[in-house]
Amino acid sequence: MTQNIYDDPQFFAGYATLDRSVKGLDGAPEWLALQQILPAIEGKAIIDLGCGYGWFCRWAQQQGAAHVLGLDVSEKMLARAREMTEVPGIDYQRADLEALTLPADSLDLAYSSLALHYLQNIDRLFRTLFQALKPGGKLVFSAEHPIYTAALKQGWFIEHDGQKTWPVANYQLEGERLSNWFANGVKKQHRKLATWINALIAAGFVIEQLDEWGPSDGQIAANPGLAEEKERPMLFLLSARKPG
């Protein structure tokens, strides 16, 4: 089963302090770019993989989605999502994405924000989503970028002149990475960008767009702390389609 670090009280408390937890989608600097690669939402059947507090689920419902299914492995996340949701049309369920099963041709959009890099068996999930999407359906997701996940110990290297450098080591060595982020021993999976792309192609998807996201000048002006994200991509955004 996927590591359920979000139910760790220390981790959950730390995660609750993030802008994307407090402000929702507006607190995620990549959201504007992610919106640009989303299909039309109105009337669609949507699944949110790793829904967390349910911010995207509620946004999709507000855009006129016919039904939204939010899945998460964390009971704490799901409890918070249910507390924050006051409208019908959204169903929250506990699920391990590593073992997910879905009805064939039942979805118009599969969406995920910063959850898939926790999974060991991404190939199985992509095959599951491909058969669950209707012909022409879309998969849109964000994940930590392989340049960010590659090093066995993540962190900036500070040059003698103060210049920050993000070391890219062990890029070809795919597999588990441990980080101490709000709690010790958070497990993530490093895979090359080629591995992500080839897994989608093998499942049958057509790649539509890939964005190695970085903040705009306007975002940096509003939030100078984002400036370091211009030095290397921390995450990528991807849109893929089921032919038909």
Question: How large is the average pLDDT for residues 200-218?
Answer: 97
Structure tokens belonging to residue 119: 């999974």
Q: What is the pLDDT of residues 16-69, one digit of tens each?
A: 888 888 899 999 999 999 999 999 999 999 999 999 999 999 999 999 999 999
Q: Looking only at Cα atoms, what is the longest distance across the chain?
A: 57
The yes-or-no verdict on residue 161 having pLDDT over 90 is: no
Q: What is the pLDDT of residues 58-98, one digit of tens each?
A: 999 999 999 999 999 999 999 999 999 988 889 999 999 99
- Rounded CA-CA distance 102/82 in Å is 22
> Which amino acid is present at 120?
Q
- Rounded CA-CA distance 146/121 in Å is 16
Note the pTM of the prediction, 2 decimals.
0.94
pLDDT at 1: 63
pLDDT at 16: 80
Structure tokens belonging to residue 19: 């802008």
Helix 122-132 and helix 193-203, axial crossing angle in degrees, nearest 10? 40
The yes-or-no verdict on residue 6 having pLDDT over 80 is: no
Question: How large is the average pLDDT for residues 145-168?
Answer: 90
pLDDT at 146: 97
The yes-or-no verdict on residue 155 having pLDDT over 90 is: no
pLDDT at 162: 82
Question: How large is the average pLDDT for residues 113-142?
Answer: 97
Question: How large is the average pLDDT for residues 217-233?
Answer: 93
The yes-or-no verdict on residue 149 having pLDDT over 80 is: yes
